[in-house]
Chain A
Amino acid sequence: MILKVEGLVKSFGNFEVIHHWNLTVEEGEKVVLLGPSGCGKTTFLRIIAGLEKPTEGKIEIGFERLGFVFQEPRLIPWKTVRDNLRLIEEDEGKIKTILELVKLNGFEDHFPSQISGGMKQRLNLARAMVVDPDFMILDEPFTSLDIKVKMEIMEDLMEIWEKRRFTMLMVTHDVKEAVYMGDRILILSKIPSKILREIRINFIRRDITNRDFLGMESRILRFMLE
């Protein structure tokens, strides 16, 4: 167990956002929380990262190094790609390795304004990778990207994961992303959100157009639309 959440409630004033969540994440697992916009996904991740206090409930944390891929890239505009990583890790060798891993080598000296949206998210990902995380949080990192760029980054991320096997906790409202990335998908209701259902994905999903994939996608969609 690397993360255990029991009876988690989060309210802002009288406004309840998270309603009694229970979940456990095992080491090396890829868990995806799938829920509509504004249901408290970011709030949940902020609580896990220690940026926000829970209103009620217990959270046990077993990880040591946290990587956080933010919803927006959150890059320092006046620092180059390399310096944005140097902020977190000084070791040039590590920086080089990670930049190659996320395919940003050759862009070390570019400023964030000089690279595309997809590359910014790659850098956001690189920053999370450079701490050599045992736990990686991803907050809808691909939602703003077009499907092709999104697929390329997700494929690369899966390849990286095969090598490093960190635990992943991702949130998204995109069913395709969830099915592609998750071993386990937790479906959330709208606000005040509850965990409605848990789905395990057991097939291999390198191809988002194959029948198993599309079948699972439509099953989840149907459930969400009910």
Chain B
Amino acid sequence: MRILLGLLIFFGSWLILSMMLSQSLILPTPMETFSALVEILRDSTTYSAMLSTIAKGFMILGLIIAVGLPVGFVMGLSDKIYELLRPTVMIIQSVPVISWLALVIFMWGIGWKGPVLIGFLSLLPISIFTIVEGVRSIDRDLLEMVKVYRVPKIKVFKYVYIGSLIPFIKAVVDVSVGNVWKTVLVTEFLCGDRGLGVMISWARQYVDVPRIYAITLMAVGLGIGTERIAKKLMSLTTRRWGM
């Protein structure tokens, strides 16, 4: 009920604002946007564009998990490795997206690799530092306890580390899922050959503003949808770990 009311407020203010402005070049009305959306959804190429964007998003999330978690874990365990890798990670964090973009276009031209790499690099540092934080926050008393009882390393990992890291892994997934679509769309816009970002870039060339808004709505839906699914999945897995 509240959600409906919230949506009503959102679309209501949009409607009022667009009527006040009455310039569909800047802000089309919700109706114009919805009719553009219907048109887009009738077109079958939309779905392959959407799939392409989704595929990139999941590739980025997969890479973050596959690279960010282990690297963060090792950096958290060893101060030496932390000191060795920290400058690299910090530099990656500080390089502007536009510089990656130039590099990627020289390397690969336009295509799917650029958006994936840039999305990955822009989410990687925060993921690594979050996991480092997690490893460092593990209860020293528990680690000492397993040392006294000479618990094998694998078991310590399964029983102590994973459980302690779950809130931090959750945070990584939350942040990544929350940001991945925005990054993917921007990079598709700039160096992609397919996807929602590319669709926006074409619509821009035709100055089809309602269409831009309609694609944006789709992206928002994608964002909210995946966030929901990620939350559900996380709460299922954490229940399995008894938290």
Contacts and interface: CB of A to CB of B under 8 A. Distances in A.
Given A51-B144, A70-B145, A76-B142, A87 B243 contact: no
B144 A79 contact: no
Nearest to A124: B145
B148 A87 contact: no
A80 B241 CA distance: 10
Q: Which of B142, B151, B241 has the most CB of A within 10 A?
A: B142
A203 interface: no
Given A51-B148, A66-B148, A76 B155 contact: no
Contacts of B149: 68, 87-88, 127, 131
A114 to B, nearest CB: 11
B242 A51 contact: no
A68 B242 contact: no
Contacts of B155: 87
A78 B241 CA distance: 7
A87 B242 contact: no
A218 B148 CA distance: 36
A111 B166 CA distance: 17
B160 A88 contact: no
Interface in B144-197: 144-149, 151, 155, 159-160, 163, 166
A51 B140 CA distance: 12
Contacts of B141: 70, 72, 74
A49 interface: yes
Q: How large is the interface on B (under 10, 10 to 19, 20 to 34, 35 or more residues)?
A: 10 to 19
A72 B145 CA distance: 11
Given A70-B141, A74-B141, A74-B142, A80 B148 contact: no
Interface in B206-243: 241-243
A132 interface: no
A87 B149 CA distance: 9
A156 interface: no
B242 to A, nearest CB: 5
Main secondary structure of the interface of B (DSSP, over half): helix
Contact of A111 (B144, B147, B242): B242
Given A70-B141, A111-B242, A76 B160 contact: yes
B159 A79 contact: yes
Contacts of A74: 141-142, 144-145
B148 to A, nearest CB: 5
Contacts of A49: 148
A49 B148 CA distance: 7
Contacts of B241: 78
Contacts of A70: 141, 145
28 contacts: A49-B148, A51-B147, A51-B148, A66-B148, A68-B149, A70-B141, A72-B141, A74-B141, A74-B142, A74-B144, A74-B145, A76-B142, A76-B159, A76-B163, A78-B163, A78-B166, A78-B243, A79-B159, A79-B242, A80-B242, A83-B159, A87-B151, A87-B155, A87-B159, A88-B149, A88-B151, A111-B242, A131-B149
Given A66-B148, A72-B141, A88-B149, 19 more contacts: A49-B148, A51-B144, A68-B145, A68-B148, A68-B149, A70-B145, A76-B142, A76-B159, A76-B160, A76-B163, A78-B242, A79-B163, A79-B242, A83-B159, A87-B149, A87-B151, A87-B155, A87-B159, A111-B242
List the 10 closest pairs (A to B, CB-CB), nearest first: A78-B163, A74-B145, A68-B148, A78-B243, A87-B159, A74-B141, A78-B242, A88-B149, A49-B148, A78-B241
Interface of A: 49, 51, 66, 68, 70, 72, 74, 76-80, 83, 87-88, 111, 127, 131
